[in-house]
Amino acid sequence: MMNQAVGRVFPGAQLLVFLSHRVLYEGCWGRQGRAANMPRITPDTAFDLASLTKPMATAALAMILVDQGVWGLEQTLGDIMPETRQSPVGEARIRALLNHSSGLPAWRPWGQELLGRHSVDIAGTGYARSYIIKRLYSQTLDTPPVYSDLGYMLLGLAIERVTNTSLDRAFYREIAVPLHADLSFVRVTAGQPDKPLPMPVAAARETSLRGMIHGVVDDDNAFVLGGVAGHAGLFGSARQVHRLLAAWLDAFLRDTKPFPGRTVREFWSGAHRAGTFVLGFDTPTPGGSSAGRNYPSGLVGHLGFTGTSFWLHPQSGLGVILLTNRVNQDPKDNTGIRSFRPLLHDLVWQTFGGDL
């Protein structure tokens, strides 16, 4: 199935199926990009994880901060960032930002606006950050609850405020180092990475404003912010994603660190559900999920725009990670991931699910 998808759904991919810390199946297919001379995908190839940044970095840090008593789920953004109190966004609660029920819009094209006026050299500048923050603070909370990048951009800023450091450094200190996981943000200045990742990276796509995107974040809003944002920017391989998911499972089942078990269980429960979203994570949409039709009950996970995803069954520890560079596929074909994902996941549940 994966072989048939190469060149049709994505140029390259990694797939990893696991039961807690034990890998049940692992494979790599295709190349880092469409061109025939692009290197092949290996287990060490890192992918732009896109919106997997939301649960893996932003919500993961939020869990730790809740457990430490640094902030509470019912606190407002204004409680944490006093300058937002004069704006409607100051009324947004941490809980509502985490489960996409705040009323913020889904997305705004601010990165594209900046790139169109200033070129890639605007990335990582103080002007770009001020431009984005000013527009974030000017948003209203009157949109019907919708999946929102803007909410996670605000959460990223709030985490930076309470930790007194940048989001990438907080992630490195609290999560990547304790887990010995090579998951990282790629900082960008003037359109180039300040320090390239020490592993091969799958290409994203070519755009009119930025040329070929390879080794820096695909999302334009995250890019102009310097590659570090609460909604996108994290890079890693399936093996490294697995390290983090296995640590969540350990916390859920056995209360191990660095994640607080009781808080992981609260985030994954339905106690704070809004639509299909729990705190920091998505759950399958009945009758039309990327997780397929025959998924086990209690599943949590997330999707990323670049063709990345994970689904995890906390009660059994069974999980599946799919990383692709589908946006590097021919633009007229790169939506094939929508029909491919459910078929793949149903095959995983059928093959490895047993009595789930």
Copy the structure tokens of residue 67. Answer: 């457990």
Copy the structure tokens of residue 25. Answer: 């199946």
Could you tell me where the DSSP H helices lie in 16-99? 53, 60-67, 77-80, 94-98
Distance of CA 34 to the CA centre of its chain: 24
Same domain flag for 115 and 229: yes
Cβ burial of 96 (10 Å; 0-12, 13-18, 19+) is: buried
What is the domain range of residue 328?
A: 2-46+236-352
Mean pLDDT of the 72-77 span: 98
Same domain flag for 302 and 330: yes
Same domain flag for 95 and 229: yes
**CATH assignment at residue 257:** 3.40.710.10
Dihedral of the CA atoms 247, 248, 253, 257 (nearest 10)? 60
Please give the pLDDT value at position 80: 98
Same domain flag for 224 and 89: yes
pLDDT digits (tens, 9 = 90+) for 137-161: 999 999 999 999 999 999 999 999 9
Cβ–Cβ < 8 Å for 262, 241: no
pLDDT digits (tens, 9 = 90+) for 10-47: 999 999 999 999 999 999 999 999 999 999 999 999 99
Copy the structure tokens of residue 24. Answer: 């049940």
Tell me which of 234, 252, 267 is where a domain ends. Answer: 234
Sequence-ordered list of residues with C-beta below 8 angstroms from that of 215, at least 6 positions apart, any chain = 186, 193, 196, 197, 201
Cβ–Cβ < 8 Å for 63, 247: no
Cβ–Cβ < 8 Å for 15, 320: yes
How far apart CA 32 and CA 213 sit, in angstroms, is: 12
Is the confidence at residue 355, as pLDDT, over 70? no
The verdict on pTM exceeding 0.95 is yes
Same domain flag for 8 and 76: no
| Sequence letter at residue 348 | V
Same domain flag for 128 and 276: no
pLDDT digits (tens, 9 = 90+) for 295-346: 999 999 999 999 999 999 999 999 999 999 999 988 777 889 999 999 999 9
pLDDT digits (tens, 9 = 90+) for 222-265: 999 999 999 999 999 999 999 999 999 999 998 888 999 999 99
Same domain flag for 217 and 195: yes
Please give the tally of structural domains in the chain. 2
The sign one gets for the Cα dihedral 165, 168, 169, 170 is positive
Rg of the Cα atoms in the chain: 19
Same domain flag for 277 and 336: yes
DSSP conformation class of 173: I
What's the full length of the chain, in residues?
356
Please give the pLDDT value at position 73: 98
Indicate the pairing of strand 277-278 with strand 234-236: unpaired
Tell me which of 199, 234, 269 is where a domain ends. Answer: 234
How far apart CA 186 and CA 101 sit, in angstroms, is: 29
Could you tell me where the DSSP H helices lie in the chain? 2-5, 53, 60-67, 77-80, 94-98, 110-118, 126-137, 149-163, 167-171, 177-179, 220-224, 238-254, 261-268, 337-352
Same domain flag for 197 and 298: no
Tell me which of 176, 207, 234 is where a domain ends. Answer: 234
Mean pLDDT of the 60-68 span: 97
Same domain flag for 228 and 135: yes
Copy the structure tokens of residue 326. Answer: 């589908």
Is the confidence at residue 356, as pLDDT, over 80? no
Same domain flag for 251 and 108: no
The sign one gets for the Cα dihedral 66, 68, 72, 77 is negative
Closest to 280 in 3D by CA, of 48, 65, 13, 17: 65
Distance of CA 51 to the CA centre of its chain: 3
Please give the pLDDT value at position 53: 98
Same domain flag for 83 and 121: yes
Cβ–Cβ < 8 Å for 181, 173: no
How far apart CA 118 and CA 160 sit, in angstroms, is: 27
